[in-house]
Amino acid sequence: MKTTSDVTKLMSQKFKLKVCIIGEHATGKTSLIKAFVEQKFSADYRPTIGTNIFIKTLEIGGDTITFTAWDIAGQERWTSMRPMYYKGASGAFIVGDLTRRSTFEQIVKFWAPDLKKHAGETVPIIVLANKCDLPREVTEEEVEKCYNDIGAITAIKTSAKNGENVNEAFMMLAKAILGKE
């Protein structure tokens, strides 16, 4: 006879999710990933060259989720490489910096169309409104308009520095990708 824990083990699944983190340079993409994967923050800014890949495994509702987070450089010189990095993405975060309005304008003008062109129109997207621990230039209404304009699931205010909503954002994206939300 099977026990409840045996049935639970049979029902649990393993998922591998490729998540792209994109947006303008210096929005905090790398810091957000490090806050999620390593639970640490470094104030030392070094631009990403091409892409960095981070891996973290966690449990969600009894399922094992392995995130492969692709931290994709925001500088214009990497534009030609991005289609290759987007390929096979399960979902994406597009990061805007709440202290710089132009980063949200670029989400609508460049980042979302570029991602959808190369990863598909239906890839789940969450806008991360990062640096919520600092004085803001961008209003709640502007963030809402941004995510509505690109058809994102939602926007989440985050701070890589203090970890605010970082884990929650990854959990929400995983659930959306897996159809559990």
Query: What digits encode the pLDDT tens for the residues 92-103?
Result: 999 999 999 999
If you ran DSSP here, which 8-state letter would residue 27 be given?
A: S
pLDDT in the model for residue 71:
87
pLDDT in the model for residue 7:
46
The boundaries of the domain holding residue 50 are 4-178
Question: What are the pLDDT digits (tens) for 77-93?
Answer: 556 666 778 889 999 99
pLDDT in the model for residue 89:
95
Helix (H, G, I), strand (E, B) or coil at 7: helix
CATH number at residue 129: 3.40.50.300
Query: Is-contact 138 130, C-beta < 8 A?
Result: no
pLDDT less than 70: residues of the chain: 1-11, 41-51, 74-82, 181
pLDDT in the model for residue 85:
84
Quick one: the chain helix, strand, coil %, rounded to 5?
A: 40, 25, 35
Number of domains into which the chain is organized = 1
Contacts of 121 (CB under 8 A, 6+ apart): none
Kindly report each contact of residues 53-57 with a partner whose C-beta sits within 8 Å and lies 24 or more positions away, as own/partner: none
pLDDT in the model for residue 58:
87
HSE on the CB side for 73, CA within 13 Å? 15
- pTM for the predicted model, two decimal places: 0.87
